[in-house]
Amino acid sequence: MKLKEKIHQSYFELTPAEKKVADHFLWAGADIIYETMNDIKEKTKVGDATIVRLCHKLGYSGFSDLKVEVAKEDYSSNVEQTGKSPYASIENALTKTIKTTLSELNQGALAKAVAAIGKAKRIYILGVGGSALSSKALESMLLRIGVRAQAVTDPHYQAQLAAITDSSDLFIVFSLTGRTKDTLEPLKIAKKNQAQVIAITTYPASPIALEADIVLQTAVDDFLNGGSLIGRMSQLLVADVLVYEYEKLNSADTINAREKVVRAILNKRKME
């Protein structure tokens, strides 16, 4: 039985405080999987015990269990095949991701991010898990336009680097949820050392975004479908736009750099 059906079935047996949480669950729908207990407490003005008690009454072991079950329901509905194409759901999701990501991008934040890249003495790009791949991709994109940056994907190494940074350093941080603990901890260390931070995340009110000086917003999370193409595409699209905007302002230098990079790798290609 789905969450909505469970709530409707037992709604009139709930206490007034539990009804507040139940109403929020109904209103939020699948978006509940991206919320924390603190988010719900703030929105409904109830305590932890009320949320947990409601979850138990609805047949879940706790709030995390509820989120996993809701994510399963949402994922299953999104992967259903359509009449025209067995992959239409994937196509629709990717198209929507591109449109939504571009619409969420703030031009003012982009301009500040471009300026920060231009001023930074050293640039470190942080990401773990699926976001590690996006950090490596941005490192390569920047190199091709003559900007030296270092992708750092090991949490221990991230912490060590953060400990010796200063105000001339720039950290670009990838995290779809904005709550990745392994990324947040070194980020806090870097901020204490006055380093500047650009966060690329879906949630502008998340802990990582709140630590950042500049936030560039992605459009999706991948709670159940971890490491999905959809989540990575949103991150890479933001990275591509960032590089594009930097190149527009520094066209002479970046064209020069692109030529040098291409010439350097020509002999690596198979001879015709």
CA-wise closest residue to 185 among 215, 214, 213, 154: 154
CATH code, domain carrying 260: 3.40.50.10490
**pLDDT of res. 122:** 96
257 and 169 fall within a common domain: yes
pTM for the full model? 0.75
The verdict on residue 173 lying in a domain is yes
Alpha carbon distance 149, 141 (integer Å): 10
Residues 261 and 272: their CA atoms lie apart, in Å, by 20
* Domain-terminating residue out of 51, 78, 105: 78
- Clarify whether residues 106 and 38 are in a common domain: no
Contact in structure between 168 and 121 (CB atoms under 8 Å): yes
Domain final position from 44, 78, 112: 78
**226 in the same domain as 148:** yes
210 and 138 part of one domain: yes
Beta bridge partner(s), residue 199: 173, 215
Do 149 and 19 reside in the same domain of the chain? no
Q: Which residues of the chain have pLDDT under 70?
A: 74-86, 221-228, 252, 269-272
Q: What is the pLDDT of residue 259?
A: 83
Nearest to 131 by CA among 170, 86, 90, 178: 178
- Taking a C-beta distance cutoff of 8 angstroms, is the pair 110, 245 a contact? yes
In the chain, how many domains are there?
2
Closest CA to 128 of 238, 210, 226: 226
d(CA 262, CA 272): 17
φ/ψ of residue 217, rounded to 5: -95, 125
Does residue 229 share a domain with residue 98?
yes
Which ranges constitute the DSSP H helices of 105-228? 107-119, 130-144, 155-163, 181-192, 207-211
- My answer on whether 113 and 33 are in the same domain is no
d(CA 185, CA 200): 16
Question: Cα–chain-centroid distance for residue 6?
Answer: 31
Convert the pLDDT of each residue in 10-41 to its tens digit: 998 999 999 999 999 998 888 787 777 888 89
The whole-number pLDDT of residue 173 equals 97
Residue 199: which H helix or E strand, with range? strand 196-201
If asked whether residues 133 and 190 sit together in one domain, one would say yes
Together in a domain, 115 and 238: yes
- Of 49, 78, 107, which one is at a domain's C-terminal end? 78
- pLDDT of the residue at 77: 62
Contact status, residue 52 vs residue 208, Cβ threshold 8 Å: no
Residue 86 lies in a domain: no
In a shared domain, residues 159 and 247: yes
Domain holding 164, by residue range, is: 91-266
Q: How far is CA 243 from the centre of its chain?
A: 18
Listing DSSP states for 76-131 in one string gives HHHT---SS-TTHHHHHHHHHHHHHHHHH--HHHHHHHHHHHHH-SEEEEE--THH
Q: Are 151 and 138 in contact (CB under 8 A)?
A: yes
Token code pair at residue 63:
């709030």
